[in-house]
A and B are shown apart, each in its own frame.
Chain A
Amino acid sequence: MPPSDIALQSNARWFLKGVLSITTLPALILMTSFVGFSAFALESGITRSQAVFMTLSVWALPAKMILIGTMAGGAPIAASFVAVTLSSIRMMPMVASIMPDMRTEKSPTWLLLFLSHFVAITSWVFAMQRLGDVPRERRLAYFGGFSITLTLVNAVIVGVCYGIVAQFPPMVAGALFMLTPVYFFASIWASARHSVVKVAFVVGVVAGPAIAMVEPKFDVLYAGLGGGTLAYLFDRFVIRGRKAAQSATAAPEELL
């Protein structure tokens, strides 16, 4: 067997391992969140095929919720674009932070660009936790197997559950609706590796509803830009500033 066939077989094997990781707990929780999303889409006046198209094309749940929120509010397309794109800036550092782990010298850029589409919170946490245990030249296959499957399975879930959720008793529909925010509260806090993320988390949780009562049209933008900047400044000058001051005063003692 020529070496390229062996490599291909091995890539297929790691891709399949990725596909089978669809049964891990974070993936299953995300699937129930998408059952909840299909209820949210239905209640927000989004059709079944629009909800499936959105799942395949946008993929990230927060971006979809913001998109639906602005669309339902009758905002012009430019306002929707600004709100969604601001919520998705975090994609850049998320993708950038896993790229050095995923790529090899030979990885084609088009493949990385294609696979980056499937990055969202769950697949990002998956990459952070598991890529280290995979041979470097198989990481793209493994990540692709998991993340592409995750997107496709959830698109099917949205398509199938869209109608079913409508027949659910109100109590069950309400619980499913609640799954999405509950899932994000826990998974975003759990995946925070920097103090600034936790500060911004708390600021966003408080500022979102608070600003919504005063300025409901651009509340999310204000909470994100204003609240996020406040969180950054607090983290920079109070939390990290104090740590820096402590290490600065500690340093001379260490010298003695």
Chain B
Amino acid sequence: MSDPVLWTYIVIAVAGWLATDIWRWLGVLLGNRLDEDSEALQWVRAVATALVMAVTSKLVFFPTGTLAHSPLWLRVGSLGIGFIAFLLAGQRVIVCVLVSISLLLLGLAML
């Protein structure tokens, strides 16, 4: 713990690697026995999705780095319009990416 560089690697290995692979390994072991439509699995899906989207959404609302100085309406607006275009285009991921990023760049260039 006295070596901060080594300690960072230990944190990544334990709180990152081990913390994710535990669930992948459990997924393999339970793979054939897990009931795809059980209520427990529905709840786990809900918690997992809410968690991931909370993190993702926070990146848009409270970005770090250069985007921290850009207006909130530009980031949310770019993503919102891109997402609507994505829904209209039959849920093609590339549409959301191209529209959102183009609008963001356009906004950043004009401001």
Contact = CB atoms under 8 A, between A and B. Distances in A.
Number of chain A interface residues as a range = 35 or more
A123 to B, nearest CB: 11
Given A53-B12, A62-B52, A185 B96 contact: yes
Nearest to A204: B53
B12 to A, nearest CB: 5
A112 interface: yes
B51 A173 contact: no
B93 A113 contact: no
Interface of A: 25-26, 29, 32, 39-40, 43-44, 50, 53-54, 57-60, 62-67, 69-71, 77, 80-81, 84-100, 103, 109, 112-113, 116-117, 119, 170-171, 173-175, 177-190, 192, 194, 196-197, 199-201, 203-209, 211-212, 219-221, 223-225, 227-229, 231-232, 235-236
Contacts of A70: 15
Interface of B: 8-32, 34, 36, 39, 41-67, 70, 75, 78-79, 82-83, 86, 91-97, 100-101, 104-105, 108-109
Nearest to B39: A236
Q: Is the interface of B mostly helix, strand, loop or mixed?
A: helix
A212 B47 CA distance: 17
Nearest to B53: A204
B54 A227 contact: yes
